[in-house]
Amino acid sequence: MLVWSEKLYISESLQRKSEAIKKKLSRRFFLPDVFLITAPTNEANVFDVFEAKELRFPYHRKREIVVYGLAKDKAEALSLVTTMLEEMYRKTGNFSGKEYFSEV
């Protein structure tokens, strides 16, 4: 199940289509060329970044996925992660995604 963060970061190229993309992803449509930035599965990481088509794998179907960001391609996803990390550090003084997104 996908859970959308209240403070969802969206790359510029997806801004106008973001609601339609969110609906499709929530219904498990596997959109090509859309990347998700999510809460990490490994506590040592800050985020997970993966292509939306990976949602079809059983591993992702069995868990709750908290989505922090959407991007059109890998380059945009990495740029968005950079922006998110900079803002996170500026506001909290650390790189704890859970802490940052729980207070937003």
Please provide the distance, in angstroms rounded to a whole number, between the alpha carbons at the two ends of the chain. 21
Greatest extent of the chain over all pairs of C-alpha atoms, in Å:
37
- State the pLDDT confidence band at 103, using cuts at 50, 70 and 90: low
Report the C-alpha gap between 60 and 1 in whole angstroms. Answer: 8
**What is the layout of strands, in order, in the sheet containing 35-38?**
2-10, 65-71, 35-38, 48-51
pLDDT exceeds cutoff 80 at 97:
no
Tokens at 100, concatenated: 């940052």
Summarize pLDDT for 50-93 with one digit per residue, the tens. 999 988 888 777 788 999 999 999 999 999 999 999 999 998 88
Higher pLDDT: 96 or 51? It is 51
Most confidently modeled of 17-21, 28-32, 98-102?
17-21
pLDDT exceeds cutoff 80 at 12:
yes
